[in-house]
Amino acid sequence: MTGAAILSFRASTSLPAAPATQPWSFAGLDLGMAKTSLPNLAPTALGRLVEGMTPMEVEAVVGRYHRPSLYEGRRYYAWIGNGGMLRAFFKGPGGTLSKVILDVAEEERVLALCGSLRQRIKNCTIIRTWNCIKCRRRFRCSALPPLVCPTCHEVCEHVPFEIKVPPPSRTKAWDEFWMQYKAERALLDAYTAGELRECVKLKIFGIQLKPKVSAKGGRRRTSR
């Protein structure tokens, strides 16, 4: 995995912290004002989305949208949830639902809006491996919503799929891996925030980070 890929992964996982809500009026309602709960991006909810729905019908299923945006000049509506984002296009007859895209760290999936409910739910379920660090357990289930461990009730962790996690049975290797992983994640966060002060090598991610801003006067002279 390249450094750029890692950083775009980081950017995609930090989506919930995204841009400020802009007030937007739809059918006379100010939908930008109250945004108390995150949208429901679970397969049971997304499986209910079908072609021909109005924006308000989609909102009734998913929750209030974050804001309408433009993609290549086309307007779409975005819902930003914990660990994922949903984009919906309303290009059907009378401005109705025509396309929905679900984004999570590992995949950008166009959702099926026709077919049986069972097929639609299956289509919008993106399976991921979740890890409960504390209980040393591994689960394979939907990327959304983030998995809460059934035993200790803490939110489980997932890693980019290129990264190999030792099996939970090798307890020492497991514990060491997660300690190192968390330390490297913190360094990536510091890098993203422009707070990294020195070069570091990330063993697990396999990349080298350099501070974005060099010390004053650190501009290199180039010969021409």
Is the CB of residue 144 less than 8 Å from the CB of residue 45?
Answer: no
Site string for Zn ion, 148-167 (x = CB under 5 A): -x-xx---------------
In DSSP terms, 71 is beta-bridged to 74
Shortest Cβ distance from residue 152 to Zn ion (Å)? 3
SS3 118: helix
Closest CB to Zn ion among 109 and 138?
Answer: 138
Using CA atoms, how far residue 122 sits from 59, 105, 119, 138, 179, in Å, is: 21, 18, 5, 21, 35
Closest CB to Zn ion among 134 and 201?
Answer: 134
Is the CB of residue 165 less than 8 Å from the CB of residue 131?
Answer: yes
Taking contact as CB under 5 A, which single stretch among the options 62-70, 92-100, 145-153, 201-209 is the one that binds Zn ion?
Answer: 145-153
Separation CA 24–CA 32 (nearest Å): 5
Closest CB to Zn ion among 57 and 157?
Answer: 157
Nearest to 26 by CA among 83, 75, 98, 82: 75
Q: Is 22 a binder of Zn ion (CB under 5 A)?
A: no
DSSP state letters, 34-74: ---S----SHHHHTT--TT--HHHHHHHH---SEEEEETTE
Looking at residue 149, the DSSP 8-state letter turns out to be: P
Taking contact as CB under 5 A, which single stretch among the options 42-50, 125-133, 166-174, 204-212 is the one that binds Zn ion?
Answer: 125-133
Q: Is 180 a binder of Zn ion (CB under 5 A)?
A: no
Shortest Cβ distance from residue 40 to Zn ion (Å)? 23
Q: Is 6 a binder of Zn ion (CB under 5 A)?
A: no
Separation CA 152–CA 22 (nearest Å): 38
Closest CB to Zn ion among 135 and 163?
Answer: 135
Q: Binding residues for Zn ion, how many (CB under 5 A)?
A: 6
Taking contact as CB under 5 A, which single stretch among the options 98-106, 127-135, 169-177, 208-216 is the one that binds Zn ion?
Answer: 127-135
Closest CB to Zn ion among 152 and 173?
Answer: 152
Pick one of 58, 97, 132, 209: the residue that binds Zn ion (CB under 5 A). 132
Pick one of 38, 135, 187, 204: the residue that binds Zn ion (CB under 5 A). 135
Nearest to 196 by CA among 207, 212, 182: 212
- Could you list the residues that contact Zn ion (CB under 5 A)? 132, 134-135, 149, 151-152
